[in-house]
Amino acid sequence: MNGTMPIAMAQTAPDEGAPIAKDAIDPELVRLSRPRPKIGVVTAAGLVFLCVYFLIRLSPDRKFAGAPIEPDRVAVADVTGGNVGTDRFVKLEATELVMSHAIRASTNKTGLGLRVAPVRGTGERLWVAMNGDGWEKPQLGAYAGRVRKLHDLPFAPSIAEYAKENPRPVFAAPSAVRGAFGTGKLESVTGDAVSIGDSDRVAFDTVDPDRTILVATFNTRLPSKVVWQKALAAAGITGTSFDATDMTIRFEVPESASTITTKLEAANLLAPARLEPKTQHFDTTWAALRGSSPAGFVVQGKTIPDAQIDLIGLYVSREIPSDAYALITDERPEDYWYVLPITIALAAIGLIFGWALVRAVKRDLLPTRA
């Protein structure tokens, strides 16, 4: 034959078990299906644990979310006595706060945080946590909110540390202070029991009955300090001037208020003047004060009769009781509407992975039956 003739060669399938060329595709592998993903015991158990953990953590919020929209009216004594369950929506009537003991609390560095103040007469076993914004409308007499244990709140450690490290003023009558000389314990005017240490600071003010502050007002007849001094001298009043302004000037006069009033009336000077008591401040420690004599409180070498003292201030560091409660005024049941959907989702995820955990245990840990 003169030329080359094409030869048709039939392509046949390779024999079973025959080697596959390097660049060829094995048809047996193409037909294989991918194995189903398996959830291991550790993964399933971990997710079940997380679901249960968050369901437990959400339990207080879930309970509060189901509370009635209108608060239950309760007494302060019911809360401190443990007769009111936590996570209830309640309203405290006729509640007076000790705002001098208020503590500002916050869980972050931004924002105004909360003002947390104890309720008067509870021994700091009940606190009210209010919004820290001073421009908000004040709540007077009645506070509504959620009842919680104070130590369960995120800001509890910070206010406990502040209360322990920073002395706060407590006021008591002279008779209560004198009665505490032997015991170191007294009852304050708020009804709280207070323990005092020797190093605690004590301070009080007294009114000096023999000295008076005369506040003189300038007018067309008495326009200056010099004119006032001449008018007072003519009336038989001698005093030391201080604290002058454009409208007034003060004089400290070593006479009683009744005597000065009589002289001002006689000189026709009572109208443009007014009288203020002269106070004297005393500062000492409890160790020094409790050595006072029955004749009066001895401070700075002076004996002040009990009758001249209205209240005595004691700066005492006090720890917040471990069983204290808090009323959170910014929380309402309707604010927690999202808790129920989250609970349902967590429960569904927990059931799914609980079922996966059972299958994984049977597959990986239990012996296979012959």
- pLDDT exceeds cutoff 50 at 1: no
- pLDDT exceeds cutoff 70 at 152: yes
In a domain, 251, yes or no: yes
Binned at pLDDT 50, 70 and 90, residue 7 comes out as very low
Is there a single domain that holds both residue 115 and residue 50?
no
For residues 46, 48, 51, 57, the Cα torsion angle rounded to the nearest 10 degrees is -80
How many domains, the chain?
Answer: 3
User: Hunting for tokens 């989250």 — which residue is that?
Assistant: 342
Binned at pLDDT 50, 70 and 90, residue 10 comes out as very low
- pLDDT exceeds cutoff 60 at 12: no
C-alpha–C-alpha distance, residues 207 and 213, integer Å: 11
Calculate mean pLDDT across residues 7-18.
Answer: 56
User: Hunting for tokens 């207080």 — which residue is that?
Assistant: 60
Q: Give the per-residue pLDDT at 370.
A: 54
Is there a single domain that holds both residue 102 and residue 213?
no
Helix axes 339-364, 41-57, angle to 10 degrees: 150
Is there a single domain that holds both residue 45 and residue 108?
no
In a domain, 47, yes or no: yes
Average pLDDT, the chain: 87
- Model pTM above 0.75: no
Tell me the two tokens of residue 321.
């009781």
Q: Give the per-residue pLDDT at 110.
A: 65
- Type of residue numbered 285: T
Is there a single domain that holds both residue 196 and residue 295?
yes
Is there a single domain that holds both residue 237 and residue 290?
yes
Q: Give the per-residue pLDDT at 33.
A: 64
Q: Give the per-residue pLDDT at 24.
A: 72
Note down the domain range covering 304: 170-316
Calculate mean pLDDT across residues 95-120.
Answer: 82
Give the highest mean pLDDT range of 5-14, 28-37, 98-107, 235-244: 235-244
Q: Give the per-residue pLDDT at 8.
A: 47
Q: If we measure between CA atoms, which residue out of 357, 360, 354, 362 comes closest to residue 52?
A: 354
In a domain, 18, yes or no: no
Percent of the chain with pLDDT over 90: 58
In a domain, 95, yes or no: yes
C-alpha–C-alpha distance, residues 119 and 90, integer Å: 15
The single-letter DSSP state of residue 322 is T
Q: Give the per-residue pLDDT at 224.
A: 93
Is there a single domain that holds both residue 290 and residue 182?
yes
Is there a single domain that holds both residue 293 and residue 260?
yes
Is there a single domain that holds both residue 161 and residue 184?
no
In a domain, 360, yes or no: yes
- pLDDT exceeds cutoff 60 at 13: no
Q: Give the per-residue pLDDT at 30.
A: 65
- pLDDT exceeds cutoff 60 at 4: no
Give me the long-range contacts of 291-295 (CB less than 8 A, separation at least 24).
Answer: 292/178, 292/181
Q: If we measure between CA atoms, which residue out of 113, 69, 119, 76 comes closest to residue 97?
A: 119
Calculate mean pLDDT across residues 298-305.
Answer: 90
In a domain, 36, yes or no: no
Calculate mean pLDDT across residues 230-245.
Answer: 93
Residue 186, classified by CB atoms within 10 Å of its CB into exposed (0-12), middle (13-18) or buried (19+), is buried
Q: Give the per-residue pLDDT at 365.
A: 81
In a domain, 176, yes or no: yes
Q: If we measure between CA atoms, which residue out of 59, 72, 58 comes closest to residue 145?
A: 72
Task: Count CA atoms closer than 13 A to 296's CA, side-chain side.
Answer: 13
Calculate mean pLDDT across residues 90-95.
Answer: 85
Binned at pLDDT 50, 70 and 90, residue 134 comes out as low
Q: Give the per-residue pLDDT at 37.
A: 73
Is there a single domain that holds both residue 191 and residue 265?
yes
Calculate mean pLDDT across residues 216-232.
Answer: 94
Tell me the two tokens of residue 159.
């206010």
- Strands 126-131 and 143-149, by their bridges, are unpaired
Is there a single domain that holds both residue 262 and residue 283?
yes
Is there a single domain that holds both residue 115 and residue 184?
no
Is there a single domain that holds both residue 185 and residue 253?
yes
In a domain, 252, yes or no: yes
